[in-house]
A and B are shown apart, each in its own frame.
Chain A
Amino acid sequence: MNEVSPDSSFQLVRRGGGFVRSVVGPFAALLLVVGIFTIADNMQEDGGRFLTLRNAQNVLVQSATVGVAALGMTMIIISGGIDLSAGTAIALSATALAWFLREDFSPAVSVAAGLAVGCLAGCVNGLLISLLRIVPFIVTLGTMTIYLGLAKIIGDNTIVRPLPDQVPEWMQELLRPRVEQAWMVFAPGVWLLVALALVTAAVLRYSVFGRHVFAVGSNEATARLCGINVPLTRIAVFSISGLFVGLAGLYQFSRLTVGDPVSGTGKELPIIAAVVIGGGSLNGGRGSILGTLTGALIMQVISSGCTSLRLPNPIQEIIIGGIIIAAVTVDQFRQRRLAA
């Protein structure tokens, strides 16, 4: 026990470094990616289109849907779970929203219905996990297909197309890259995402519920021992995440203005990837909202950069895959150094 005093100063430095790294780390990676593509882009003969406001507007809008859903996924992953059904649930919400609009319900009712469907989908996941005591991976693997099927039923196996005048103007503008009011700079949907991210981050850090989410994900047995209601926490996490999925459904719809039941298939993977690139651990107990958003942006920047360099799609996919593995490797290395 006499090792304390020399050790403590060392620890302070180390913790300070860790804090700086945990905030700057994901940002640094983002800046690095932006920097690389800017240089490469300017080396092209007709370059100079990458680092522009125009492109930034595009990238933000394109990553917003994944970003919103990834807020909820961050909570789920911190709580030690995973949601493979997020992708098809987004499409289910979007399809429901489109159906309500087409059946001439008011936009408010339609949006509420879309959000409710997403929330319910998440809640069902949470209930199944808690009541049947099956791991989230398996439960959501099942509901992934179930939600796809439900979306197809709603859409009668085809795309739900509301008439143009049934879709209100604001819904189309939600994620339009070029905003009419110049002072907004970015689309309203982007700002909504930023606001929600701030709230979610605050909940995770400063609320009793947030601490419980970390406790459950970090060590479920300890959480139980401390009297935390683990099943209820799980259900709440999945329901809240479902609400974000519903909102992602609205985002998706506002970009497509149709409800396509199969449009969400595979979407869960970039969502999970955003959390993981941002430092989330699939073992639970770790993850951050800031990291997740940066993760979502990194993927979109790479894809946009590759486009401006005229790199074909397959190359983009390979690079993004590599980034995921690299991000986790770097993170693990950092963890090991911290533990040593």
Chain B
Amino acid sequence: MTRPRLRMSRVSKSFAATRALAEVSLEAHGGEVLALIGENGAGKSTLMKILSGAVSPDGGEMELDGRPYAPGGPHAARAAGVAMIYQELNLAPDLTAVENVMLGQEQHRLGIVRRAEQRRRVREALLQLDRPDVPLDVPVGRFSVADQQLVEIARALVIDAKVIVFDEPTSSLTRHDVERLFQVIERLKRSGIAVIYISHFLEEIRRIADRYVVLRDGSAAGSGDLAGTGEAEIVSLMVGRQVSELFPTVPHTPGESILALDGLAGRDAPHDVTFELRRGEIFGVAGLVGSGRTELLRCLLALDPVRSGTVRVHGNIPRATPRARIRAGLGLVSEDRKTEGLAQRESIADNMTYSRLSPFARFGWLNLNRRRNAVLEWMRRLSIKGTGPEQLVEHLSGGNQQKVALARVLHQDADILLLDEPTRGIDVGTKSEVYRLMSALAAEGKAVIFVSSYFTELLAVCDRVAVMARGELREIRPAEQWTNEALLSCALGVDGPTP
């Protein structure tokens, strides 16, 4: 085999007491696409941060084209030829394609930008990507997401990248744009660039990548050629155990109706959603990012404005404020723990009790001791690992943070739990605790709406699953009547086989 363009050997990194990466090695060759697979929290992003110079490793070595590579920062990494295309694009929306591509590497003479030279280079890069149709002088804010992504890729070409990393590049693309992106990646590959491709979608990986490396709990769990490796094999490498014991359930049977939506519509999404939820039921909502599933939950809690339609809880229509909806028995666990779900710089006790301080209050004054005991009890029941109720949430691991968010809706004694991606970014052990908790709650007679883009967990945990796409609730079926593939093609809005 030829010399790899990138070699990472025994790279390690710890954050405080948490080991994020333990001696991970990988090689990326020119002319191939290497898929980096792993669950959230497996260490993919830390590894890529080390590669891109954003984080420096505690141990290990890296080589780029045979030469030692130890970037001092993102800028040094780019200069050395490592380019990252993140899920969230890094463009200045008011600048044109040319300005964005050349940002930080402007061609100039005595401080005067050489516009013609810049345009020539950008046009060349776009030609190389077979997309000479992209306008050069329009602010990129007016581009589609796909074209913005192309501008990012062009930026990588202009710096003459040796390695390009794509981090979940398709999550906000339409199916047609995904096809075009794959063509672009094929071209990059043929020009001798080493491509590292990170994605949750095994189908996509199978389609575009040549080799794979699976990360699990910060270590390389396995690697090999994709041709001849079964999906089940990769999944078991990812989770590190048999899939069946990953989803512990408590038997539960749906009872009377508790929540009824009739034609619920938000500002942009959802459109006209109608369904009924029963006590003791776990109702799954499958959908890709941007399908309107988060907006559905937010409309239910009246966090987003409701345009039309009604929400009935126990047959009554609560007022459209978060407060009234919480009083009526709804509780939401946000998909975004950092910016919405939790006040990161406040204590566990505060975060757990914000939505219901009344049990500890008399005439508006709190009995902090009584609250502390209640919080300790929740910490024990959900086995939240922390130093105590006063600990700041930001010092907890992702899984424990998620448990604090869950404990809040439990303390609130919500009858209807709206869980938005509750297992995102938490370790496998905590995930199965969350699954067990969900079915235990259903067995107690509570109702759960479980939103996820990881369809396997929906099928394993839910009683019924609905698919959302483009803001519409497309189809509701009992979980056993769905397959992963059927969910995906419904979520992608196609009938035929998926890419």
Which of A206, A218, A222 is close to B366, meaning CB atoms less than 8 Å apart?
A206
Task: Flag the segment in A5-13, A39-47, A103-111, A313-321 that touches B.
Answer: A5-13
Given contact pairs A11-B391, A15-B390, A219 touches B343 in the complex (Cβ within 8 A): yes
Chain A 207-228 interface mask (CB, 8 Å, partner B; 1/0): 1110110110011011111111
Complex-state Cα separation, A215 to B408, whole angstroms: 14
B310 at the interface (CB under 8 A from A): no
Q: How close is A70's CB to chain B, nearest CB, in angstroms?
A: 22
Check: A329 CB closer than 8 A to any chain B CB.
no
The closest CB in chain A to the CB of B397 belongs to A1
Question: Which residues of chain A are within 8 angstroms of B321 by Cβ–Cβ distance?
Answer: 227, 229
Check if B323 sits within 8 Å of A219, measured CB to CB: no
Q: Give the residues in chain B near A8, CB-CB below 8 Å.
A: 386-387
Question: Counting CB contacts under 8 A, is B260 at the interface?
Answer: no
| Cβ contacts under 8 Å, B344 to chain A | 218-219
Q: Kindly list chain B residues whose C-beta atoms are within 8 Å of the C-beta of A20.
A: none
Task: Give B324 Cβ to nearest chain A Cβ, in Å.
Answer: 8
Fill in one digit per residue for A235-268: 1 if any B CB lies within 8 Å of its CB, else 0. Answer: 0000000000000000000000000000000000
Docked Cα-Cα span, A340 to B429, in Å, equals 26
Interface size for A (C-beta < 8 A) is 32
A175 to B4, CA, bound (A): 79
> Is A222's CB under 8 angstroms from B351's CB?
yes
Q: Report B341 CB to chain A, min CB distance, Å.
A: 7
- Give the complex CA separation of A223 and B334 in angstroms: 12
Point out the residues of chain A lying under 8 angstroms from B397, CB to CB: 1
Contacts of B390 in A (CB 8 A): 15
Identify which of B17, B350, B364, B366 contacts A3 (C-beta below 8 A): B17
Interface residue range, chain B: 35 or more
Known contacts A225-B303, A225-B334; A211 and B351 CB within 8 A of each other: no
With contacts A11-B387, A15-B387 known, is A214 near B366, CB below 8 A? no
Report the Cα distance A38→B368, complex, angstroms.
42
A184 on the interface (CB 8 Å rule)?
A: no
Minimal beta-carbon separation of B202 from chain A (angstroms): 28
Choice from B17, B332, B350 contacting A211 with Cβ under 8 Å: B350
Q: Complex Cα distance A224/B305, Å?
A: 13
Q: Which of B323, B340, B385 lies in contact with A1, CB distance below 8 A?
A: B385
Contact pattern, B 305-337, Cβ under 8 Å of A = 1, otherwise 0: 000000000000000011101110000101000
The interface residues of chain B lying within 8 Å CB-to-CB of A227 are 321-323, 325-327, 355
> In the assembly, what is the distance between CA of A53 and CA of B388, in Å?
44
Residues of A near B301 (CB, < 8 A) are: 225
In the assembled complex, the CB of A168 is this many whole angstroms from the nearest CB of chain B, namely 35
Q: Is the CB of A339 within 8 A of B394?
A: yes
A211 — which chain B residues lie within 8 A by C-beta? 350, 354, 357, 366
Residues of A with C-beta under 8 A to B325: 227
- A223 engages B354 (CB within 8 Å): yes
> By CB atoms of chain B within 10 A, which of A212, A214, A218, A227 has the most?
A227
CB contacts (< 8 Å) of A208 on chain B: these are 357, 361, 364-366
Q: Which residues of B contact A286 (CB under 8 A)?
A: 345
Cα-based distance from A97 to B189 in the complex (angstroms) = 78
Look across to chain A and name the residue whose beta carbon is closest to the beta carbon of B394: A339
Q: Does A4 contact B (CB under 8 A)?
A: yes
On chain A, the residues within 8 Å of B364 by CB distance are: 207-209
A321-340 interface bits toward B, Cβ cutoff 8 Å, 1 = contact, 0 = none: 00000000000000000011
Q: Which of A1-30 contact B (CB under 8 A)?
A: 1, 3-4, 6-8, 11-12, 15
- Which residues from B are CB-within-8-Å of A6? 17
In the assembled complex, the CB of A210 is this many whole angstroms from the nearest CB of chain B, namely 8
Instruction: Report if A114 contacts B (CB, 8 A).
Output: no
Interchain CA distance A111-B382 in the complex, whole Å: 55
Residues A221 and B326 in contact, CB atoms below 8 Å apart = no
What residues of chain A lie closer than 8 Å to B427, measured between beta carbons? 1
* Residues from chain B with Cβ under 8 Å of A285 in the complex: 343, 345-346
Given contacts A12-B387, A208-B365, A208-B366, 7 further A-B contacts (CB under 8 A): A8-B386, A219-B340, A222-B341, A222-B351, A227-B322, A229-B321, A286-B345
What are 25 contact pairs spanning A and B, CB under 8 A?
A1-B397, A3-B17, A6-B17, A7-B16, A8-B386, A15-B391, A211-B350, A211-B354, A214-B346, A214-B350, A215-B354, A218-B344, A219-B339, A219-B340, A219-B343, A219-B346, A222-B340, A222-B343, A223-B354, A226-B322, A226-B355, A227-B322, A227-B326, A228-B355, A286-B345
For the complex of A and B, the 4 pairs showing the least CB-CB separation, nearest first, are A226-B355, A3-B17, A226-B354, A227-B326
Residues of A within 8 A of B (CB): 1, 3-4, 6-8, 11-12, 15, 206-209, 211-212, 214-215, 218-219, 221-229, 285-286, 339-340
Contacts from B to A (Cβ < 8 Å): 16-18, 301, 303, 321-323, 325-327, 332, 334, 339-346, 350-351, 354-355, 357, 361, 364-366, 368, 385-388, 390-391, 394-395, 397, 399-400, 408, 427, 429
